Amino acid sequence: MDISLGKQSLIYQIVIYICGFLLFCEWLRPLEMISETQNVKVFFIYAGFCFFISFLQINWMISVPLKLLGLMFIIDGLYVAEQIFSGQWFAVVYNQVMYNIQVIQGQQWWEMTPLFRSLLFLILLWLMSYLLYYWFIIAKRMLFFVTLTFVYVTIVDTFTIYDGQWAIIRTFILGMISLGLSHFFKEMDREKVSLRGVKKAHLWVAPLIGVIIFSTLAGYAAPKLEPQWPDPVPYLTSGDRGAGSGPGGRIQKVGYGENDSRLGGSFVQDDTVVFQALAANKQYWRIESKDTYTGKGWEDTLDKPVKNVSPDNIEFQTYTDQVETEEQVALLNFTDDAEFNKLVYPYGIQELERFPDPFTIALHENTGEMDTLLEGNPDQVQRYITQYDAPSFEYNQLREADGEDPEEIKERYLQLPDSLPDRVRELASEIVSEEDNRYDRAKAVESYFSANGFKYSTTNVPVPKENQDYVDQFLFESKIGYCDNFSTSMVVLLRAEGIPARWVKGFTGGERQNETATIKGQTLNIYEVTSGNAHSWVEVYFPEIGWVPFEPTQGFTNNTDFHMDVEETDNEEVTPASADEPEQDETLGRPEQMREQQTEASAGQSDVNINQKSITLWISLAAALLLAAILYITRFRWMSAILIRRFKKMDREDTYDRAFHYLLRVLAHKKGIKRYPNQTLRDYARQVDAHFQSNDMRKLTNHYERALYRNENGIEHWRKVTELWENLIKRALS
């Protein structure tokens, strides 16, 4: 019988320990994706080696040198070029260790070398091999490590790019095997049943295997809710300057970039300040336009010709002399985070002042892109003042501008790919069918998005498939996106109706600060512009007027100035619309300013909802962590309250035994009174009574020994000493 029980124990230990090692491997798998850890397979091998040595339970005088030798071979193979165990080899390792100790003392953790980080990680694997042996084989606390693995995998899956779907399934299967076998062998030991044959063992284990398979398949196939919260990965990765996957990536970092060949996908917000603008009012800060739509994004095919111009006289205008203007001045002050060498300028720019010398500008005449050329310095120009003639477009003039477009304008800005789906063209015709002039047609397209269920969002924005058009997907399928989706769609819809339009990039006005400044006698507001203010919008061409900005994106206001000239008649005098009064949009039948405010309110509500969800998520997580901490700290109190009620009502034969051992745990954890392996129960009882200055523990122990060694009825003894046990529990918790 003893031999059979010994084999049972060995089989149990082997299976359980293998499950423990495989569970620990789930902790190592994500490292290569979520960190800079390389050669993860080497760490798997060393972990397996340490686990094997720990399982053999050989003398520490042998196991420690073996594990240390394996550690040295790995360090040598990965980092040290000298002959292993030579004087130079030990000198390299010693110098590395001493340097990193100094780094740690200086709290410059990021300066630690790869060799030292790997050394610490290998030592951690060494310690974990023993710790898991203790948890699984000696303490038999599989549930704790299984739960911990679940928590780790789910957190890594949620907050990093690691996909933990199969890791969760593997952890579930291994956890079921570990917990099932643990319970199975406990029952075998309790009933003194041995495994007398392989066939009988299969019959015992078969129900466990069946339950595991059924539970796994049922959990995998069961219907599951869609994600209820925004993905937190973009928010966390926004702290990394290298966040984002580049052009066409699914998660990109917001900000000005030059490659727009593949649009789509979500991006992470970034509130890094790019520049501070001192200006009379909020406005667009232009950088460039692009002309060729490919079905996936934008290409710049009009970047030539390029000519160098002097900052004193910048010969670039987007409108003609027929447009009314007002002379204004602005100062732009860039931060070190402005990672582009482009001139950021307002509409109507004329000249720059207070620029560094020598300084020239390479002007791309068609797109308006201006490269700043500062001799000997590749960085962005830090500060300049710009004089500009701010345009103000007159409504009636725009409505009457229906002349013939120049051939070069039609050739350049009516381009559409042959692959554009017909339903996009059909939608464009439907939108403008009731309008009789270019301005009202452009306004109809601009307002189409706000009236047809389109939503502004920077998350969960799809990327077009290989054979899918970017605009078609947005207009007919997703109806969710950000400025690139809205502006590109408006340009394509206008071009489909023969209206020249182009895609423009730059920055919005930014956030107004609670202070002003005076430059050249003008009192200017101060605006803070961040990477999050990077934006794209639309310019529409009007014959004899030029390019006029439009804003189709939900939640954004067109900062361009529009006005209406009202003439006096013989019968009545009409006061011209002032800047403080809303201007009537004749197409929509309500004030233009009111319409924009309602658009802002709609998108603002969407932003509020997103923010509220994010806040609720973090509050829920914080509350869950706080609750978990409280439950863990007070675990003996609430567990004792439950067990006191439960043990009072139980009449099982082993109730006394379970209650007595629980008391020993409480005394050890709450009062520090531990029972050592060579200490008798009576000696331990005297120690407890000396602490409490009573003899209750000796009485309880006396009854326990009688029930244990004399085979007296444990239930009867338990009924006699229930109150005594309860009093000791309460004293231990006090």
User: Which has the closest alpha carbon to 586: 385, 443, 477, 418?
Assistant: 443
Q: Give the Cα separation of 556 and 510 in Å (integer).
A: 11
Report how far Cα 716 is from the mean position of its chain's Cα atoms. 60
User: Which has the closest alpha carbon to 552: 617, 627, 471?
Assistant: 471
Q: What is the pLDDT of residue 320?
A: 92
Taking each continuous run of H as one helix and of E as one strand, the counts in the chain are: 22, 22
Reduce the DSSP state of residue 274 to 3 states and report it.
strand
Beta bridge partners of 371: 342, 362
Reduce the DSSP state of residue 294 to 3 states and report it.
coil
Q: What is the pLDDT of residue 187?
A: 67
The answer to whether the pTM exceeds 0.75 is no
Q: Give the Cα separation of 361 and 372 in Å (integer).
A: 5
**pLDDT tens digits, 127-180:** 888 788 777 777 677 788 888 888 888 888 777 767 778 888 888 888 888 887
Assign 712 a pLDDT band (cuts: 50, 70, 90). Answer: low
User: Which has the closest alpha carbon to 393: 522, 540, 588, 495?
Assistant: 540
- For helices 714-733 and 681-692, the axis angle rounded to 10 degrees is 40
Residue pair 48/69 in contact (Cβ under 8 Å)? The answer is no
Contacts of 120 (CB under 8 A, 6+ apart): none
**pLDDT tens digits, 236-291:** 444 444 344 344 444 556 678 778 888 888 777 778 889 999 999 898 999 999 99
CB atoms within 10 A of CB 613: 13
What average pLDDT does this structure show over 392-412?
A: 91
Assign 525 a pLDDT band (cuts: 50, 70, 90). Answer: very high
Contacts of 455 (CB under 8 A, 6+ apart): 479, 480, 554, 606
Q: Give the Cα separation of 491 and 483 in Å (integer).
A: 12
Reduce the DSSP state of residue 516 to 3 states and report it.
strand
Higher-confidence residue: 419 or 701?
A: 419
Q: What is the pLDDT of residue 651?
A: 57
Assign 613 a pLDDT band (cuts: 50, 70, 90). Answer: low
Task: State whether the Cα torsion 593-597-602-606 is positive or negative.
Answer: positive
- The values of phi and psi at residue 504, to 5°, are -125, 145
**pLDDT tens digits, 192-214:** 555 554 445 556 667 777 777 88
Q: Which two tokens stand for residue 12?
A: 């149990």
Higher-confidence residue: 579 or 120?
A: 120
**pLDDT tens digits, 526-575:** 999 998 899 999 999 999 999 999 999 988 888 899 988 765 434 444 44
Q: Which of 312-316, 393-397, 713-717 has the lowest mean pLDDT?
A: 713-717
Report how far Cα 358 is from the mean position of its chain's Cα atoms. 44
Q: What is the pLDDT of residue 238?
A: 45
C-alpha distances in Å from residue 262, one per residue of 422, 459, 466: 21, 17, 11
**pLDDT tens digits, 491-517:** 999 999 999 999 999 999 999 998 898
Q: What is the pLDDT of residue 233?
A: 54
Q: What is the pLDDT of residue 592?
A: 40
Q: Give the Cα separation of 66 and 570 in Å (integer).
A: 107
Given a cut of 60, whether residue 619 has pLDDT beyond it is yes
Mean pLDDT of the chain: 78
Assign 490 a pLDDT band (cuts: 50, 70, 90). Answer: very high
Q: Give the Cα separation of 269 and 502 in Å (integer).
A: 26
Q: Which of 202-211, 350-359, 463-472, 597-606 has the lowest mean pLDDT?
A: 597-606
**pLDDT tens digits, 620-661:** 777 777 777 777 777 777 777 776 666 666 555 566 677 777
Q: What is the pLDDT of residue 43?
A: 83
DSSP 526-556: EEEEEGGGEEEEEEEEETTTEEEEE--STT-
C-alpha distances in Å from residue 41, one per residue of 30, 38, 303: 12, 8, 49
User: Which has the closest alpha carbon to 243: 221, 217, 207, 267?
Assistant: 267
Higher-confidence residue: 164 or 475?
A: 475
**pLDDT tens digits, 65-97:** 888 898 888 888 877 877 888 888 888 888 888
Higher-confidence residue: 414 or 567?
A: 414
CB atoms within 10 A of CB 159: 15
Q: What is the pLDDT of residue 647?
A: 65
Given a cut of 80, whether residue 63 has pLDDT beyond it is yes
Assign 217 a pLDDT band (cuts: 50, 70, 90). Answer: confident
What average pLDDT does this structure show over 660-673?
A: 79
Task: State whether the Cα torsion 162-168-174-179 is positive or negative.
Answer: positive
User: Which has the closest alpha carbon to 482: 252, 239, 231, 273?
Assistant: 252
Higher-confidence residue: 73 or 31?
A: 73
User: Which has the closest alpha carbon to 369: 305, 325, 297?
Assistant: 305
Higher-confidence residue: 428 or 668?
A: 428
Q: What is the pLDDT of residue 188?
A: 64
**pLDDT tens digits, 460-473:** 888 888 789 999 99
Higher-confidence residue: 413 or 720?
A: 413
Residue 186, CA atoms < 13 Å, CB-side half-sphere:
11
Share of the chain above pLDDT 70, in %: 78
- The values of phi and psi at residue 637, to 5°, are -70, -50
Q: What is the pLDDT of residue 596?
A: 42
Q: What is the pLDDT of residue 529?
A: 93
User: Which has the closest alpha carbon to 507: 343, 318, 284, 271?
Assistant: 284
Q: Which two tokens stand for residue 479?
A: 């109806």
C-alpha distances in Å from residue 430, one per residue of 17, 423, 424, 434, 493: 69, 10, 10, 8, 10
Given a cut of 80, whether residue 352 has pLDDT beyond it is yes
Where in 354-474 does DSSP place strands (E)?
A: 359-364, 370-374, 383-394, 455-456
Q: Which two tokens stand for residue 173?
A: 């299967």
**pLDDT tens digits, 103-127:** 788 777 777 788 888 888 888 888 8
Residue 128, CA atoms < 13 Å, CB-side half-sphere:
21
Contacts of 294 (CB under 8 A, 6+ apart): 261, 417
Report how far Cα 615 is from the mean position of its chain's Cα atoms. 14
Residue pair 532/273 in contact (Cβ under 8 Å)? The answer is no
Q: Give the Cα separation of 626 and 635 in Å (integer).
A: 14
In the block, residue with structure tokens 């609720």: 616
Q: Give the Cα separation of 373 and 304 in Å (integer).
A: 17
Q: What is the pLDDT of residue 594?
A: 40
Q: Which domains does the chain have, with CATH numbers?
A: 2-221 (no CATH), 274-565+583-588 (3.10.620.30), 635-733 (no CATH)
Q: What is the pLDDT of residue 342?
A: 86
Q: What is the pLDDT of residue 26?
A: 86
Task: State whether the Cα torsion 577-580-586-591 is positive or negative.
Answer: negative
Q: Which two tokens stand for residue 32?
A: 């290569």
